[in-house]
């Protein structure tokens, strides 16, 4: 892809491109955002309770599973 086109599209090195063929035979190209660029764009369904609460929940669930399986 020529440099002026890459600059106009603001394409970064190794960035993926999406090519869309139109019904009239022309092609549309647009850069795909990186995974890092999308970080934070979705809202979680549930708020993160914090690291302490997560660790406590894991300990509780592991304990329950071990008790159910008869492990000590």
Q: What is the pTM of this model?
A: 0.41
Where do we find the tokens 């995974």?
Answer: 35
Percent of the chain with pLDDT over 90: 33
User: Band of the pLDDT at 58, cuts 50, 70, 90?
Assistant: very high
Lowest mean pLDDT among 45-49, 55-59, 61-65: 45-49
- How many residues does this entry show for the chain? 72
| Residue 14 backbone class (left: φ over 0; alpha: ψ -120 to 50; beta: rest) | left
Report DSSP state, residue 28.
E
Where do we find the tokens 């309770």?
Answer: 49
What's the number of domains the chain is made of?
1
Domain range holding 16?
3-69
What is the largest distance, in Å, between two alpha-carbon atoms of the chain?
69
- The structure tokens listed for 25 are 């035979």
């Amino acid at each position: 892809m020529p440099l002026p086109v890459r600059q106009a599209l603001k394409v970064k090195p190794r960035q993926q491109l999406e090519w869309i063929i139109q019904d009239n035979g022309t092609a549309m190209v647009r850069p795909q955002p990186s995974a890092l660029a999308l970080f934070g764009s979705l809202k979680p369904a549930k708020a993160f309770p914090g690291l302490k609460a997560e660790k406590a929940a894991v300990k509780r669930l592991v304990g329950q599973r071990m008790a159910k399986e008869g492990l000590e």
